[in-house]
Amino acid sequence: MVVRTAVAASLVFMTCIVVGRAQTNASPQPSQGRGTLLPPARVPATPTPAAPAAAQARSQPVNVKIDFTITDQRAGAAPVKRTLSVVTADGQLGRVRTTSKVNWRGGDLDVPLNVDATPSLLTGGEIRVQFTVSYDVPYFTGATAAPNAQGEVSRSTLSDSVTLVLKDGASVTAAQSADPIGDRQVSVDVKATVMK
């Protein structure tokens, strides 16, 4: 019996020593309500592995021809068509800048026809085309709108910015604009063709 009591006492004593050492080695806890709070232990930041880059569509080594047909229609007059084309590589910007100088109402007037277009080849033979068209034409003598409460229309500007998906070789009417005062209507047809 004495032996069992001695063994039990020894085990309790050893447990107290082990627990006491563990508490001594542990980081001190901040006291609640008094004393100075210690800053939390700094854990070295492990570098976060870079997320895999999203698979971006790679440009293909082919050219795309983009045809634009601008139809300018005024009441009582035959429609006037303006056509232009731009050839550019897949995923690259193509620009066309055309300006005419017109002697109008006693002075020179710049009349621009500008197009910016970027084609991107998609799967399934489709082509995404992002384009901007700027077209500015005055109303010449004989083509002016009838005077109204706002006065005579002397000049009208068209500016369209569109992104659309086209079938290879198919034409689509991408934009239709109406003159805010006169009876003029302008439409833009676009066709994209992959050049083999």
Tens of pLDDT, residue by residue over 131-145, are 999 988 766 544 444
Whether residue 133 contacts residue 70, with contact meaning beta carbons closer than 8 Å, is answered with yes
Give, in degrees to the nearest 5, the angle at Cα 20 between 17 and 23. Answer: 150
Q: pLDDT per residue over 66-112, tens digit each?
A: 999 999 888 788 898 999 999 999 999 999 998 888 876 777 878 88
Q: pLDDT per residue over 147-175, tens digit each?
A: 444 556 666 788 899 999 999 999 999 99
pTM confidence score:
0.63
Quick one: pLDDT at residue 142?
A: 47
Quick one: pLDDT at residue 75?
A: 79
Helix ranges restricted to H, the chain: 2-25
CA separation for the pair 109, 117 (Å, rounded): 26
* Amino acid of residue 109: L
Tokens standing for residue 38: 């210690």
Q: Is the pLDDT of residue 115 over 70?
A: yes
- Domains in the chain, please, with CATH? 63-195 (2.40.160)
